[in-house]
Structure 1
Amino acid sequence: MTDNVPTLDGVWNQGWQSAVELRAALLGGEPLPEMPYVPVRLEPEEKAHAAVVLDYSRYYGMDVTYQQNSNFYFGSPVFVAAGLAADAIGNASARGRAEAMARAQWREFQQVTVYVTSTRLLALVDGTRWLSWYHQGNVQVHALLGEWAVVQMFPDCEPVRWQGPAAPWLAVLLVYLVFGEDNLRHHPELSALGPAFG
């Protein structure tokens, strides 16, 4: 194994081995499996291939508001100065918290079931809304195998990160569905899964 292969045990080992086997099978010309049922309506000619449980998050910044204190102090100069200093410290602290919350970062952490189809990924997010990420709109797939993650980049929405034991397997499948067999064979981030024969 190479240096960038994570230490494996239990379900993590199974996830890694599944990714190795899927890559070998796809490069060997085997067809993708098809699921007979998914809980949502698919588009005409769309085929469901798998359902995996992963941690989901998106990367974005946001507008945050905070309230500043500006109290009126009456009394001795020491009392007034102490009150103004306390307000300044409180305002600086509130501003710092708001700036930290507003920075672009991974958000919306939750575990979801991801349905992989021939045209998109589907997931029920927040338990209330089905979201789709179409392979055709996917500009880049980052297989971050050492972090047990795969990140999808799109031109018109925030990056999406999938993380967990099944992430290497999903990375293999996404690279294949989005970019094809040649990219699957030569994708440098997938080299830790072993040699690409064929």
Structure 2
Amino acid sequence: MPADGQDAMWSQGWEQAVRFREALLDGFPLPTLPAVPVRLNAGEVAHAELVLDYSRFYGQNVTYSQSSGFYFGSPLFVAAGLAGQAIGNSVARSRAQAMAAPQWREFQRVTVYLTDQRLLALVDGVRWLSWYHSAMMQIQPFLGQWNVVQLFEDCEPLRWSGPAAPWLAVALVRLGYGLDHVRDLPEMNLLSRPVVGGSPDSGATGIADDLSHGGHTPLM
């Protein structure tokens, strides 16, 4: 797809978020969907179907093997063998430490259903997961980097990225914290002006570091 086509997707996503925020502040309700292809709770209302890039932030246990051996021959040969073995073990240890460090993992593009109670997504193509708004302790909208991070009390941080992320950020702030936060939260005020450029800026900060940018499918 040409670069200008990609820029148009990002610009459209931003404009939709701007209009959505303005509509909420003008007293309009969230949109609703007549039906979704997943089973909802009794009385649960579906608001949107979105396509977003999903990732989670956590560390993990990693094991690695250290090589050992016996070297026979001249002192130079033995020294070279031991040095090579030490280097190999050091590389394996460093690689394992890097893999174990807390970082964003499970990168994938998913379809997300937003309801008045939660977010639902089919992860890895086999698992339906839910994240309830009532369990969300904090929301971090990094709109300049086109992503929104949710922090929970009992599970790993969750990140949603892509052209629809600003729209989702507005919806989550409204559902999780109320209309006052949609109006007054500093990050939400970014949506009072047009997007600058089409693609995400580099240099994300805080827990949103290392966001990988690329072509995304437009969302709504």
RMSD: 1.1
State the AA in 2 paired with 1:55: D
1:5 is matched with none
Alignment of 1:172-183 (within 5 A): 172-183=170-181
Unaligned 5+ segments in structure 1 are 1-7
Q: Percent identity?
A: 64
Please give the alpha-carbon distance, in whole angstroms, between the structure 2 residues aligned to 1:10 and 1:182. Answer: 30
State the AA in 2 paired with 1:119: Q
State the AA in 2 paired with 1:146: G
Q: Are 1:38 and 2:36 an aligned pair?
A: yes
Q: How far did 1:39 drift?
A: 1.5
Please give the alpha-carbon distance, in whole angstroms, between the structure 2 residues aligned to 1:138 and 1:26. Answer: 21
2:168 is matched with 170
Q: How far did 1:9 drift?
A: 3.0
2:25 is matched with 27
1:106-161 deviation line (CA, Å, top 9, x unaligned): 00000001100000000000001000000000011111011000000001000000
Q: How far did 1:80 drift?
A: 1.0
Q: Helix, strand or coil for the counterpart of 2:175?
A: helix
Q: Are 1:130 and 2:128 an aligned pair?
A: yes
Q: Are 1:101 and 2:99 an aligned pair?
A: yes
Unaligned 5+ segments in structure 2 are 1-5, 194-220
Please give the alpha-carbon distance, in whole angstroms, between the structure 2 residues aligned to 1:172 and 1:34. Answer: 15
Please give the alpha-carbon distance, in whole angstroms, between the structure 1 residues aligned to 2:140 and 2:58. Answer: 17
Q: How far did 1:72 drift?
A: 1.1
Equivalenced residue count is 188
Q: Helix, strand or coil for the counterpart of 1:9?
A: helix
Q: Helix, strand or coil for the counterpart of 1:22?
A: helix
Given candidates 81, 84, 87, the residue that maps to 1:83 is 81
TM-score w.r.t. structure 2 length?
A: 0.84
1:3 is matched with none
Q: Helix, strand or coil for the counterpart of 1:151?
A: strand
